[in-house]
Structure 1
Amino acid sequence: MRWQVHSEEPLYTDPWIDVRVADVELPDGRHLDHRLIRTAPGAGAVVTDERDRVLLIWRHRFITDTWGWEIPIGKIEEGEEPVAAAAREVEEETGWRPGPLRPLIYAQPSSGLSDSEHHIFRADTARHIGPPTEPWEAERVEWVPLADVRRLIDGRDLVCGTSMNALLYVLTEAGARK
């Protein structure tokens, strides 16, 4: 049962976000004004090491006024390939340069409200190149044991949907290899 979109009008637009209202027809013929958010795509990475640790950032999110662990992720710049954006974001936010990146997951974290899409990659190594170039992104940068991910989720220290999806996916990969 597909909803039909008859029109879409901007409510607020700036370089970061485009809030819109769409005239949507439901399968039963009713119409409703549905709000939606259009954003640039994002890219990030799960970077692990030989000791089964994952590179995470501890940061504050002012919108929810909460602290939590996240993988490095950010906006894909105009003309930039997702894999290049993921590598850049890891470096900027952590000070570590990831080894070869390979696709891990593609996510639409809030498809009922936004067209946001996240391209997440995986690296098995990283090399420290210096302090983060965007130190305002995180309070701390740490290598956290992958085995702690479930505890972090249960304790609400890891609540970011994309980070959670990617890390749980990595854990299922590890479990499948055993």
Structure 2
Amino acid sequence: MRWIVHGERRVYTSAYLDLCLSDVEVPDGDRYEHHLVRLPRSVGTLVLDSAQRVLMVWRHRFTTDTWNWELPGGWVDPGESPERAAARETEEETGWRPGELRELAYIQPCAGITDAEQYLYLASTARHVGPPRDGFESDRVAWLPLADTPGMIARREIVGGVSLIGLLSVLNGHAVATQAVVAPAPRSAA
């Protein structure tokens, strides 16, 4: 059953999101305004080295007041490809430049209320190029053993949707990455 959209009006707009009211008609004929949040596209990158460690950032999310490990990621800039954004965001947040990226997943995280699109990439190589450029993004950057991530998920140390989907995909064998990281991988760098 497809809903009919008769129109849309913006209630609020910014560089980060648009809050809209969509005039929708549902299949039984009822018609009402439905809230819609329009967001820019976003990306995440799962870098997995030959020792089966994942590059992650430890950060606080003020929106939920939680600390957790996340894959590096962020917004896709206007005119930028998701793949390029994934490489840029990884380097900015971690100081590691990922090698060749391949798409691991495409996600619509909350399609009932937002048009958000997230692209998740996998890299099996990375080169350390210096400290993270965005010092406000995280408290710590670390290479964590992939084998430890199921327990971290169970303890709610990893809760972000992109991170969960990426890790669970790799853990379930949907992606294989076995090439070595070019530079020695420190346990943490901040």
Do the two structures share a fold, i.e. TM-score over 0.5? Answer: yes
1:66-115 superposed Cα distances (whole Å, 9 cap, x missing partner): 01111011111111111111000000000001111111100011111111
Aligned residues between the structures: 176
Say which structure is richer in helix.
1
CA distance in 1, matches of 2:135, 2:34: 38
CA 146–174 in structure 1, closer or farther in 2 if over 3 Å, else same: farther
Q: Which residue of 1 aligns with 2:71?
A: 71
Q: Residue 57 of structure 2 contacts residue 138 of structure 2 at CA under 8 Å; is this kept in 1? A: yes
The whole-number CA distance in structure 2 between the counterparts of 1:104 and 1:157 is 22
Residue 11 (structure 2) pairs with residue 15 (structure 1): no
Query: 1:67·1:157 contact (CA, 8 Å) conserved in 2?
Result: yes
Indicate conservation of the 8 Å contact 1:44/1:87, yes or no. no
Give the corresponding residue for 2:141: 141
Structure 1: runs of 5 or more not aligned: none
**Residue identity (%):** 50
Conservation of the 8 A alpha-carbon contact between 1:19 and 1:38: yes
> How many Å separate the matches in 2 of 1:140 and 1:93?
10
Structure 2 counterpart SS, 1:59: strand
TM-superposed CA distance for 1:32, in Å, is 2.1
Flag structure 2 segments of 5+ consecutive residues without an equivalent.
Answer: 177-190
Match for residue 108 of structure 2? 108
The residue aligned with 2:26 is 26
Amino acid at match of 1:133: R
Take 2:4 and 2:56, find their aligned partners in 1: how far apart are those partners? 41
Q: What CA distance in whole angstroms lies between the structure 2 residues aligned with 1:140 and 1:20?
A: 36
TM-score by length of 1: 0.96
Secondary structure class of the residue paired with 2:89: helix
Moved beyond 6 Å, runs of 4+:
none
